[in-house]
Amino acid sequence: MRFFPSFLSLPGLALLLTLTNPAAAQSRQDILLTSNWKFTKGDVANAAQPGFKDDKWQTVSVPHDWAIYGPFSSTNDLQQVKIEQNNEKQATTKAGRTGGLPFIGTGWYRRRLAVPGFGPGKRAELVFDGAMSNAHVFVNGKEVGYWPYGYNSFHFDITSFLNPSGDNTLAVRLENQPEASRWYPGAGLYRNVHLLVTDEVHIPVWGTYITTPDITADFAKVKLRTEVAGGSVTQNLRLDTEIRDAAGTVVATLSTALAATDGQQFEQNLVVPQPRLWSPETPVLYTASSKLYAGSALKDEYQTRFGIRSFTFEANKGFSLNGQLRRFRGVCNHHDLGPLGAAINTAALRRQLTLLKDLGADAIRTTHNMPAPELVSLADEMGFMLIVESFDEWKKPKVKNGYSQYFDEWSERDVVNMVHRDRNHPSVIMWSIGNEVPDQWAPGGTKIAKRLQDIVHREDPTRPVTAGMDQFDAVVNNGFAALLDVPGFNYKPHRYPEAYTKLPQALMLGSETASTVSSRGVYKFPVVVAKDKKYPDNQSSSYDLEACNWSQTPDEEFVQQDALNYLMGEFVWTGFDYLGEPTPYDESWPSHSSYFGIMDLAGLPKDRFYLYRSRWNPTAPTLHLLPHWTWPGREGQTTPVFCYTNYPSAELFVNGVSQGRQTKGPSDKPQTRYRLMWSDVKYAPGSLKVVAYDAQGKAVGEEEVRTAGKPHHIKLVTDRSSLVADGQDLAYVTVRVEDAQGNLCPEAANEVQFKVSGAGKFRAAANGNAASLELFHEPHMKAFQGQLVAVVQASDKAGNVQLQATGKGLKSAAVTIQTGSAK
Ligand code: GAL
């Protein structure tokens, strides 16, 4: 099977251009509707009417998640369910399944809508990047449209609803049902809303489609299809396109007149000489800038950013990008941003991707729904391959009020919008039509899979379709797995060989792997491999040996990935902890966020981060020791020590006394192949040190952990020393409770108070404790295992912003961050 490259359109860039180019300003404006929204929770009669008095409502800016401010309660979306995917035999009460936050119910948003330049011959459109959920959109009291699925982008033409006087009211009613989700969905206008103003003759929303069907070292053929609406061939329509490279140099141009035989679509074939190819390591982008003319009048201007790359999926071989065989080093991520909830923020996403780069990851599966467009654009820019996923259920429900109720009527429209919005992005490598949908084994399920796959192929023939499958016997025997372009299996490493013999594709993907559970910095004794293990403190051990009855430790997947050449890599569940699904504590309130993450809810790396990094990041040395070494009361007791490293062997010392040298190597225990483990170490306070050796036996690195004394001071470490003064940019400041010598106090739970002054504000805090009910937006929080993270947001005025952190009995700390214009 061969799939060709392709790529993307970027309305954000269009805005920049319109602001600097007066000709374009007349033709197209893309205005973000962020400020001066009024919001209320609850249903209100007549709230859509222009004359409605909303002055008592809260003033908010969008993106906005109305539920993230809490309070947490076990009664928010209490679910009495039997989770079949988890092999549960009877229904039990789950309190934190969707995060324990108040997202259920109705919410209203209202705003004045000024439409600059609107008048005869102009048109206006609203584009919602996502609205949670069941959006009814009203302009001047009249409903312009409805879209139920909260994760998808959608748009409505509002031209005929606008007042020529220019005084318009926009109102949006949203409603979240109980028992509609398996994780925290967020609530409200949690993604951006755009107002597009164009000429009547225009290029519609997502109106271009770029593919690069031929790529050689000398040239790439770029095929650009551009739709045109509101005009006709009699108007002498012409499209002038320039392709620019990343430096802005024009590398190809073409002017094309619309012929009577073209319908409403231009097709342009351009040639880019000596193309620079897009890959995760070289995320090179090009932009096609098109100008639409009717005679000599400029009617529209449209930017389509894209990349040039090719890929193949070949039987018995796997996945190649630009001719190079590679395996996905992927993570699955939910859409929430931890303490920010679902409210989208580009800086928060960029920080996630920066951490994933350091991990060595090169791919993300957007589980189990369409991502924010900002994520897809950042993946293009920073170099991540994406599986963009659509649904968690089809006709047969997983939850009482889930997507199944809309499936028949909406699934095609939802798939079409997903593909149209994102098909120009080089980062998007595959489309997923579903995750563990119960229709895998239901009569007719295979037919639905075929229908959805056909829709995707119709809209984008350049990328393969996959799905995450867990019902192995059913899908292998009923034709479901055989019909997919790329079979994806969730948690079935031991059955890959069987799938290989039974399926025609002769390649497959670990679409969801591991689901190991751990709490950052928490270690449990004795150290044993365990399934569904629970402890009274609602935490899981960070020795990375605990999983669910259906899932595995990371190493079990590694063994198969290393042994079987038809595997195309894995997507670990998950990169980051997320709100909701607190397995194995689904029934044990106050747990309300996940334990699956390689990083915790605050984005702090757990030990597992270094296990994956030692495998995935070849360019940086990894040498990480666990557990911490402050165990008053454990003196003389067995305290196993693990080292996660990309060096082949290492020697461990306790207070200078060698504990022997360990070497990674073949063994029946998967762990011994990927971790260095000293199982019989007796704890003695002092120094735990590891010396790593390279393949030639030369000592090449060392790492030491020391026993900490009493909490003494706070240390602040900011990830950014300067921010853009745009009212959105964020610094994540790690707060460490340290002893007088600067050692982390690994069990410290001191409460830390925050004060932000100057050109910014305190936005949120998180400590990664899945059982903490502290509110994210309040400027105080307890450290969890010695650490937490404070999020500082820049204002729109340049200057200095200072974060001050204080705690009882601790020497306080402060950090100053500069804010200014973008470089
Ligand atoms: C999978 C599912 C994910 C998550 C995970 C936890 O079965 O696809 O959404 O629930 O299990 O292990």
What is the per-residue DSSP string for 756-775? EEESEEEEEEE---TT----
User: pLDDT above 70 covers what percent of the chain?
Assistant: 97
Q: Which of 163, 191, 219 is the last residue in one of the domains?
A: 191
pLDDT tens, position by position, 692-719: 999 999 999 999 999 999 999 999 999 9
Identified catalytic residue from 179, 301, 389, 512: 512
Index of the ligand 1 atom closest to the CA of residue 435: 8
CA of 161 to the centre of ligand 1 (A): 44
SS3 string of 540-591?
A: CCCCCCEECCCCCCHHHHHHHHHHCCCEEEEEEECCECCECCCCCCCCCCCC
402, 459: one domain:
yes
Question: Does a structural domain hold residue 441?
Answer: yes
Find out whether the beta carbon of 256 lies less than 6 Å from any atom of ligand 1.
no
Domain range for 344 is 329-515+552-616
Index of the ligand 1 atom closest to the CA of residue 85: 7
Q: Among this protein's residues, is 436 annotated catalytic?
A: yes
Where do runs of H (alpha helix) occur along 460-504? 472-477, 480-483, 496-502
Question: Does a structural domain hold residue 622?
Answer: no
719, 572: one domain:
no
Index of the ligand 1 atom closest to the CA of residue 515: 12
Strand partners, 388: 431
**Token pair belonging to 783:** 């450290």
CATH code of the domain in which 245 resides = 2.60.40.10
pLDDT at position 166 is 82
414, 490: one domain:
yes
pLDDT at position 22 is 37
Distance in angstroms (rounded) separating the CA atoms of residues 503 and 481: 7
pLDDT at position 18 is 34
278, 417: one domain:
no
Give the closest residue (by CA) to ligand 1 atom 3.
573
pLDDT at position 26 is 61
Question: Does a structural domain hold residue 522?
Answer: no
Find out whether the beta carbon of 573 lies less than 6 Å from any atom of ligand 1.
yes
186, 300: one domain:
no
Identify the DSSP state of 604: -
CA of 84 to the centre of ligand 1 (A): 11
pLDDT at position 613 is 98
pLDDT at position 677 is 97
Q: Among this protein's residues, is 459 annotated catalytic?
A: no
Give the closest residue (by CA) to ligand 1 atom 4.
573
Question: Does a structural domain hold residue 569?
Answer: yes
pLDDT tens, position by position, 617-663: 989 999 999 999 999 999 999 999 999 999 999 999 999 999 999 99
Question: Does a structural domain hold residue 455?
Answer: yes
CA of 151 to the centre of ligand 1 (A): 18
591, 718: one domain:
no
Nearest to 510 by CA among 570, 433, 591, 566: 570
Q: Which of 616, 645, 667 is the last residue in one of the domains?
A: 616
Question: Does a structural domain hold residue 198?
Answer: no
426, 511: one domain:
yes
Find out whether the beta carbon of 18 lies less than 6 Å from any atom of ligand 1.
no
Distance in angstroms (rounded) separating the CA atoms of residues 789 and 803: 12
755, 691: one domain:
no
CA of 616 to the centre of ligand 1 (A): 23
CA of 436 to the centre of ligand 1 (A): 8
Give the closest residue (by CA) to ligand 1 atom 7.
85
pLDDT at position 21 is 40
Find out whether the beta carbon of 659 lies less than 6 Å from any atom of ligand 1.
no
Find out whether the beta carbon of 558 lies less than 6 Å from any atom of ligand 1.
no
662, 773: one domain:
no
pTM for this prediction: 0.96
- Under-50 pLDDT residues of the chain: 1-25
Nearest to 170 by CA among 240, 109, 95: 109
CATH code of the domain in which 582 resides = 3.20.20.80
Element (H, E) at 672: helix 670-674
For residue 649, CA distances in Å to 614, 661, 680, 730 come to 13, 7, 18, 40
Structurally, how many domains does the chain consist of? 5
Index of the ligand 1 atom closest to the CA of residue 468: 8
* CB environment 183-199: b (16+ within 10 A), e (fewer): bbbbbbbbbbbbbbbbb
Mean pLDDT of the chain: 95
Distance in angstroms (rounded) separating the CA atoms of residues 638 and 651: 18
Find out whether the beta carbon of 435 lies less than 6 Å from any atom of ligand 1.
yes
181, 255: one domain:
no
